[in-house]
Chain A
């Protein structure tokens, strides 16, 4: 048995009991207040912070630190889990929280070095990014377009999704107790394939519109930033606004975290995150795969149950199929909880066919 996982299904919090529903409700309420009202500003002032967003940053960071330490305490016997979680905490504390705050103190706009396009679609918004010094502009473009794809080809999307990313960071730490709630049915997988790629298309579309629209602007004689295409300008800002509301606020925030106690901690990452969609596509061509030891699986279901991305790992393991899945964030928990040591995360070029969405066998014979 696995320390920390025993009694999962006896706990009301972890198995969609009353406590889980109450917590979900509170999270929904909290996110709605943060995103759509100014009430939390007064809470921020109470504790001496400038705005609700500072308060949110502090709370988010505390959640990752506390959840991360708890996770290391229970799963730290695996060095992979330990290193990964320390890195996540470090990334949140230093890159996502401290550096932007410090930059703010020097009267410059904060910048999160752990965020890339298309998770932050604003990075490719000329109006937004050109406000920054040239080095940061280069970082944003080279990072998003070159470094991120290369690292993903070499190590899989895990280097980002379960080692660096702030959304993943919260899921892996404070949200860890809910990983077993992800939906493992093929139905959910089918839905995910449609939904996540739709958001990716929206992200690309929205970015493209914003860039084109910017290109159609010019400085007039009075020194104003204007365009001759008012309708296009309107459409571009509407699309951008809708994306901001629907994807960033509703899907990543309100639903993404609000549903932790009911549908697991990776609802956003699995169904909607455009970054995850893009990295997933790249991952399929990269080195990272999960290797299955032949004929050793006892079909116990620990791997599938504790897969936060809802991958039915057992379906591969019990049919001796090593596999690559676009959604796998490489958290490594399937390998960690497997009582027979069947699974292993590996980075190796191996062009033998691995199972994936197209050729998975449900059984072998």
Chain B
């Protein structure tokens, strides 16, 4: 049996590991072009600022492929032939497979803005982006970062640290409205300003201005011109699936590979996982999940199904965590979904960034948590949501879900309901 995995990211490598566990003798080939070794994309920012070395962000030792008996092909797949189960690579090689996993991830979304091809415009998503930004940050004095999400704020943080003045353009009324409410977002905005970020809310981005092929500034929707030598665009990512266009693999309108609950595509023996796979969410919306741990999960489940087991990929209650400069963030369940009749309990510890928001329904059952500042154990929060605990019960037990380092100041609730 020859399994071929396209992609050396978290989905691809975890699928390969699992496959090897199921099948000791199978031939397993991993094809990718971005980097020789599997690395943690989530840690790009730490490499940029020198907190980690390039090798620090490789989750496995370098002899992992050899030890596990994976064949590693460093090339780009340009075409998939679903009739003959063949892959065509850029350097001319062809590879046949018995079963295929497409875990080719995502690339930065770019929407054909005027000036986007100028020297000094780029993204912060791939290994090549990292090298580009390291190079550019040596000379740049002023940068504009476009896009109010997580990659945006991480980019702002590392550029500031490199001694570059940063203007952060956010189109929305406040930073990251899909995850934060206005109060929470304001805390983050104040924190950014405290770190000397020139944050511009409600500011669209219209055009990049250049001179002699190089960036000299950015023009906002209002016509204001901001001088800069560097523009980093972080308005999201899209599945890296252009090469699949005429292959017969069905995709959604944004290029996400449509998979069923077994992560199988419309073609037998072809599966997909990770940032490129369009899965059905709990609320029946179809889109890729684009998170680290879901990528890992999907990789493992896809491997089981490639091997011939029948494992269903079912997402439990949503959770995630992140960090905005120094402020840690934990979320679980349904917050910011504007559910019918939802109410929010809100508490902030005086003189700190530590907030607690608990979303509950008219029957007092808690459906979501949004926490800033302190560390929380998402496993407990998720459990409470699944057990349909009431708000008052949750408030009485909340301290049990704390996950702070030892000796941190005692947790205090300031009850107020909004």
Contact = CB atoms under 8 A, between A and B. Distances in A.
A145 interface: no
Contacts of A10: 50
B292 A298 contact: yes
Contact of A299 (B22, B50, B292): B292
B52 A9 contact: yes
A296 B321 contact: yes
Nearest to B374: A341
A332 B407 CA distance: 12
A295 B316 CA distance: 12
B297 A295 contact: yes
* B contact residues, range: 35 or more
Nearest to B54: A9
A357 interface: no
Interface string A184-196: 0110000000000
A301 B45 contact: no
Contacts of A42: none
B378 interface: yes
A9 B405 contact: no
Contacts of B49: 1, 6-7
A343 to B, nearest CB: 9
A295 B56 contact: no
A80 to B, nearest CB: 5
Contacts of A314: 59
B379 interface: yes
Given A77-B326, A341-B330, 8 more contacts: A9-B51, A79-B407, A293-B379, A298-B293, A302-B52, A305-B53, A318-B296, A332-B406
Interface string B290-322: 001100110010011000000000000001011
A269 B299 CA distance: 39
A301 B57 contact: yes
8 contacts: A77-B326, A293-B403, A296-B319, A300-B42, A318-B296, A341-B330, A341-B375, A365-B22
A80 B375 CA distance: 14
A118 to B, nearest CB: 28
A77 to B, nearest CB: 8
B264 interface: no
B409 interface: yes
B405 A78 contact: yes
Interface in A2-46: 2, 5-11, 15
Most buried by A among B304, B319, B323: B323
Contacts of A297: 293
Nearest to B407: A79
Contacts of A6: 49-51, 161
Contacts of A2: 51
Interface in A325-347: 332, 335-336, 339-341, 344-345
A79 B52 contact: no
A299 B40 contact: yes
Most buried by B among A295, A300, A304: A300
B408 to A, nearest CB: 6
Contacts of B296: 295, 318
Nearest to B300: A365
Interface string A287-320: 0000001111111111011000000001000100
A341 B321 contact: yes
A132 B371 CA distance: 57
Contact of B161 (A1, A79, A295, A296): A1
In the A-B complex, the 10 residue pairs with the closest CB atoms: A300-B43, A341-B375, A365-B18, A10-B50, A298-B42, A79-B407, A299-B59, A7-B50, A363-B17, A299-B40
A218 interface: no
A335 B17 CA distance: 27
A83 interface: yes
Contacts of A318: 59, 296
Contacts of A7: 49-51
A9 B297 CA distance: 32
B297 A344 contact: no
B31 to A, nearest CB: 20
Interface string B307-351: 000000000000101110110101000000000000000000000
A154 to B, nearest CB: 14
A364 B22 CA distance: 11
Most buried by A among B14, B52, B158: B52
Interface string B233-261: 00000000000000000000000000000
Interface string A72-88: 00000111100100000
Interface string A57-80: 000000000000000000001111
A341 B161 contact: no
B129 interface: no
Given A296-B293, A301-B57, A339-B323, A8 B405 contact: no
Contacts of B407: 79-80, 83
Interface in B24-49: 40, 42-43, 45-46, 49
A8 B59 contact: no
Nearest to A15: B53
B51 A299 contact: no
B229 interface: no
B40 A298 contact: yes
A186 B405 contact: no
B369 to A, nearest CB: 14
Contact of A79 (B60, B292, B304, B408): B408
A304 B56 contact: yes
B61 interface: yes
B377 interface: yes
A138 to B, nearest CB: 32
A298 to B, nearest CB: 4
A302 B53 CA distance: 10
Contacts of A301: 40, 43, 46, 52, 56-59
Contacts of B189: none
Interface in A184-216: 185-186
A207 to B, nearest CB: 35
Contacts of B18: 363, 365
B10 interface: yes
Contact of A344 (B46, B61, B161, B405): B405
Contact of A1 (B56, B158, B319): B158
Nearest to B64: A362
B323 A340 contact: yes
A8 B47 CA distance: 10
A314 B55 CA distance: 13
B157 interface: yes
A300 B61 contact: no
A294 B381 CA distance: 13
Contacts of A340: 321-323, 328
